[in-house]
Chains A and B, each alone.
Chain A
């Protein structure tokens, strides 16, 4: 076994231990999140029985619905029941419709997954490209134009971006439909025209953050001693960027990419509302308003799990691309 092979083997063991450690932390985080989510939803004023019956509630009808739904049991019993369901993959039944949550949200999850995946597939390379271009020469026309454009978009809330896009592309030019009520009987990707504006909004709101972060990372690298030495050695600028700057930012960029996906997921709440897009963002808003706490809990746990896994993957990419991160701590 050569020295290089021995180092690789010990590296593999180290990486495996680091991954296991992070998975364990992730599971611990999800357990804490489950407590927070459950007791936060319990603390919401009013309940589904009140919300269903509204002004036609009578004490008898309220009691009937609460007893049917098991809401009259102690909170701790309800929590343990819910968590034991989660562990076995059972998200529970919607309080409002009695439908299993997994069935209720299936179409919405695939719609939102399509929205976030397409948006990420555009945003991640676009942000890296723009950030790198802006970082190459501080104060150049690329830097100034990209940075001012990104700052301008950053200043706008999601719904304003959405309304402007609707007004211009749907209203003024009539190119695309202004709302996106996806037909649940068809796959989201088969309804491409309805995805254009939501995806464009998501890309517009997420790209500036990523661009700014990548710009800072690359610029820090380009200002580093190793790049100065490379320049002094007469190495071409394009090679310096690829070999000495970008390679070193791969790990931190993966982290920033994770943050971007997190940001895109959060953006679905506003974007889905603006376009009447049937996804989990709009389902969450409706479930909170309707006090369907089983649905709220399922979505919150689902999103938390996706985030934990995303950051785990980002960590992993960081570890694999940067040996300096391979410590047991």
Chain B
């Protein structure tokens, strides 16, 4: 090895220098390319919406939509018969009228006569009948949320009229068709190539990354405000907010309350804020001690400082809750006295009932909403003053909804965006399929059965007030507050409108937005 005389320069070093230089040069080159990659030509408008997050579980079949992306797809590509409008009440969408017979067990739905599928065919009564029959034949989720429908008693009266003869009278029939899962699909629907009647057509789908929609210029309610809609997935709320203020996206669909001020303080951007019926509600399991005792349930309700919760976790963006659901439902009982924070009264109640304080309780939570964890942590602190020793356990979402779901003594669930009757039918009555509190009250169920058949609004409102009083006095849910929808917008975006009874930014009705 010694003694060789050629190769006067250190070879390895000499080789690596140009490569390193080329590499660094490449970085500088990249850094120089700071023009936006989403430059559009002059003629087409592209609205880019950032959302946390899309997933490869986003269903192209609206009936199977369970995720944010699934709801986004349903709202753009399809129509529901009815929707919760900007005032929170249901309004016709694909239907022009939804009318009951004398007893609310027969309903007649009249369809818009100018609605067409994106392949040009008209939307007909046969399509609606086929959609409903498909839910039941394939046991898709809407079959569970519409227990009053008899699929054999849904008939096309003429090309634009459908008659539903229900299993029992249901005055809330029109509201049941607001959910994006109940979107109407063509009779020959193929989920792999979804054809809808909605304001957009899905032109490109990269699951979990980006959804690209093209405007349906022939949309029967008027063409959407932009030519193309790109819905882009972000890992979390913070990165979506950074992307908004850097001009990478036009709309940040869900702004964390703690960064509203940052966006509002950035020239050219602001946060559109409106109240909703959405809520993170604590569920008390009435099959287990200590929440089998109504005294303990009432004590924990008194142990929540609701205003402080709104201020601490939500930066003030939220409205007070009163342990009953949906203030945007016209039947909501606003006369119930607002429950106040009173840890001393809670403590006294528990001691009078013979409990030794502190009373240990296990709370299980997951990140079903970005603020869930913070909300749970605040409860742990607040309830301590009322004599509760809450042991909080955080688990990931799949674990939370795993086999142990429904057995937690105390847990935090995301609900709302349902009329009072649907909320009760889903989560409160004895037959509610998603009642993880296992609470039952025959008096409540009797009132519910009576109210849902009562066509007269005044009479029904009185019955609902009695139902909500029972919930207020002994129910299984703590509804501490209602969430605000916080949507980050570039100043170029116009058309923002509140949809208080629909989940997601503007109920994911992106057709209402325009650019420029």
Q: Which of A44, A175, A186, A272 contacts B34 (CB 8 A)?
A: A175
Judge if B19 is at the interface, Cβ distance under 8 Å. yes
Closest residue of chain B to A118, judged by CB?
B26
CB of B56 within 8 Å of the partner chain:
yes
A97 & B398 in contact (Cβ 8 Å cutoff): no
Q: Are B234 and A55 in contact (CB under 8 A)?
A: no
Residues 45-97 of B at the A interface (beta carbon under 8 Å)? 50, 53, 55-59, 66-67
**From residue 177 to 197 of chain A, which have CB atoms closer than 8 A to chain B?**
177-179, 181-186, 190-196
Asked if A160 is at the interface of the complex by the 8 Å CB criterion, the answer is no
Enumerate chain B residues within 8 angstroms of A200, measured Cβ to Cβ: 27
Q: A285 — nearest CB in chain B belongs to which residue?
A: B235
Q: A55-B434, A195-B30, A196-B31 are in contact. Are A292 and B56 (CB under 8 A)?
A: yes
Please tell me if the beta carbons of A54 and B66 are within 8 angstroms of each other in the complex: yes
A275-329: which have CB < 8 Å to B?
275-276, 278, 282-283, 286-287, 289-292, 295
Give, as a whole number of angstroms, the nearest-CB distance from A245 to chain B.
Answer: 8
The answer to whether A242 touches B12, judged by C-beta atoms less than 8 angstroms apart, is: yes
**Known A128-B16, A181-B233, A184-B210; contact A176-B56, beta-carbon cutoff 8 A:** no
In chain A, residues 19-73, which have Cβ atoms closer than 8 Å to a Cβ of chain B? 44-48, 50-58, 60-61, 64
Closest residue on chain A to residue B413 by CB atoms: A55
> Whole-angstrom distance between the alpha carbons of A99 and B207 in the complex?
9
Q: How far is the CA of A33 from the CA of B16 in the complex (A)?
A: 35
B residues near A181, Cβ cutoff 8 Å:
50, 209-210, 232-234, 243, 248-249
Task: Select A50's contact among B27, B36, B398, beta carbons within 8 Å.
Answer: B398
Establish whether residues B55 and A129, one from each chain, have CB atoms under 8 Å apart when the complex forms. no
- In the complex, A64 Cα to B139 Cα: how many Å? 8
Whether A147 sits at the interface, judged by CB under 8 Å, is no
A129-B246 in contact (CB<8A): no
Decide if B24 is an interface residue (CB 8 Å cutoff).
Answer: yes
The residues of B that contact A53 with a CB separation of less than 8 Å are: 66, 141, 401
Q: Which residue of A lies closest to B427 (CB)?
A: A55
Bound Cα distance A176, B433 (Å): 50
What distance in Å separates the Cβ of A193 from its nearest Cβ neighbour in chain B? 5
CA distance A311 to B194 in the complex (A): 45
Within residues 128 to 169 of chain B, which ones have a CB less than 8 A from any CB in chain A? 139, 141, 144
What residue in chain A is nearest B11 (Cβ atoms)?
A: A242
In B197-250, the 8 Å CB interface with A consists of 204, 206-210, 212, 230, 232-236, 239-240, 242-243, 246, 248-249
Contact B13 A129 (CB under 8 A): yes
Closest to A167 in B: B242
Taking the nearest CB of chain B, how far is it from the CB of A274, in angstroms? 7
Q: With a CB–CB cut-off of 8 A, which chain A residues contact B232?
A: 181
Measured CA separation A246–B405 after assembly (Å): 61
Residue A264 interfacial (CB < 8 Å): no
Answer whether A179 and B242 are a contact pair too, CB < 8 Å, given A54-B66, A96-B56: yes
A246 x B11 contact (CB < 8 A)? yes
Bound form: Cα–Cα A175–B405 in Å: 48
Q: Evaluate contact between B16 and A56: CB separation under 8 angstroms.
A: no
- B426 contacts across to A, CB distance below 8 A: 56
Contact B398 A45 (CB under 8 A): yes
Tell whether, in the assembled complex, residue B401 and residue A46 are in contact, meaning their CB atoms are under 8 Å apart: yes
CA distance A132 to B15 in the complex (A): 13
Confirm or deny: A155 has a beta carbon within 8 angstroms of a beta carbon on chain B: no
| A56 adjacent to B2 (CB under 8 Å) | no
Contact with A along B1-25 (1 / 0, CB 8 A): 1101001111111101101100110
A56 with B50: in contact, given A96-B57, A129-B20, A250-B12 (CB under 8 Å)? no
Q: Size of chain B's interface in residues, with CB distance under 8 A?
A: 78
In the complex, are the beta carbons of B11 and A243 less than 8 A apart? Answer: yes
- The reply to whether A129 and B17 contact each other, CB–CB distance below 8 Å, is yes
Q: Are B37 and A183 in contact (CB under 8 A)?
A: yes
* Complex alpha-carbon distance, A177 and B36, angstroms: 8
Complex contact B398–A51 (CB within 8 A): yes
Determine whether the beta carbon of B9 is less than 8 Å from that of A242: yes
Q: Please count how many residues in chain A sit with their CB below 8 Å of the partner chain's CB atoms.
A: 87
> B73: shortest Cβ distance to chain A, in Å?
12
Tell me the smallest distance from the CB of A157 to a CB of chain B, in Å: 16
Stretch at the interface among A6-14, A80-88, A137-145, A233-241: A233-241
B71 to nearest A CB, angstroms?
13
- Complex partner residue of A178 from B55, B235, B246, CB under 8 angstroms: B246
CA distance A178 to B434 in the complex (A): 41
- A226 sits at the interface (CB 8 A): yes
Determine the chain A residues whose CB is within 8 A of the CB of B26 once the complex forms: 118, 121-122
Chain A residue at smallest Cβ distance from B402: A46
Query: Quick one: given A50-B405, A132-B13, are A287 and B248 in contact (CB under 8 Å)?
Result: no
Q: Please name the residue on chain A nearest to B209 by beta carbon.
A: A278
Residue of B nearest to A45 (CB): B399
User: Quick one: CB contact mask for A209-223 with B, threshold 8 Å, 1 for yes?
Assistant: 000000000000000
A149-188: CB near B (< 8 Å → 1, else 0) gives 0000000000000000010011000111111011111100
Q: A170-B242, A193-B34, A286-B53 are in contact. Are A276 and B12 (CB under 8 A)?
A: no
- Return chain B residues, CB-CB under 8 Å to A185: 204, 206, 212
A206 within 8 A of B: no
Task: Give Cα A131 to B155, complex, Å.
Answer: 79
In the complex, what residues of B have CB within 8 A of residue A122's CB? 20, 23-24, 26-27
Closest to B247 in A: A177
Q: Is the CB of A179 within 8 A of B234?
A: yes
Let me know if A47 and B23 touch, CB within 8 A: no
Q: Report yes or no: B12 in contact with A247, Cβ–Cβ below 8 A.
A: yes
B56 touches A291 (CB 8 A): no
B28 closest partner in A (C-beta): A196
Contact of B139 among A60, A176, A249, A276 (CB under 8 A): A60
Inter-chain contact A97/B57, CB cutoff 8 Å = yes
**B395 proximity list for chain A (CB < 8 A):** 45
Tell me whether B31 and A178 are in contact (CB under 8 A).
no
B30 touches A193 (CB 8 A): yes
Closest Cβ of chain A to B413, distance in Å, is 6
List of A residues within 8 angstroms of B415 by Cβ: 55
Is the beta-carbon distance between A242 and B397 smaller than 8 angstroms? Answer: no
A52 to B397, CA, bound (A): 10
B44 at the interface (CB under 8 A from A): no
Using known A-B contacts A46-B401, A61-B139, A122-B24, determine if residue A175 contacts B31 with beta carbons closer than 8 Å.
Answer: yes
A15 to B403, CA, bound (A): 54
Give chain A nearest CB distance to B39 CB in angstroms. 11
Given contacts A46-B402, A126-B24, 14 further A-B contacts (CB under 8 A): A56-B144, A56-B433, A57-B401, A58-B144, A97-B59, A99-B56, A104-B56, A108-B209, A122-B23, A125-B23, A175-B31, A179-B239, A179-B242, A230-B2
- Chain A residues within CB distance 8 Å of chain B: 44-48, 50-58, 60-61, 64, 94, 96-97, 99, 104, 107-108, 118, 121-122, 124-126, 128-129, 132, 166, 169-170, 174-179, 181-186, 190-196, 199-200, 203, 226, 229-230, 233, 238-239, 241-244, 246-247, 249-250, 272-276, 278, 282-283, 286-287, 289-292, 295
5 contacts between A and B (CB under 8 A): A56-B426, A181-B232, A229-B2, A278-B210, A286-B208
The 7 residue pairs across chains A and B that have the minimum distance between CB atoms: A242-B10, A46-B402, A246-B12, A46-B398, A96-B57, A122-B23, A184-B206
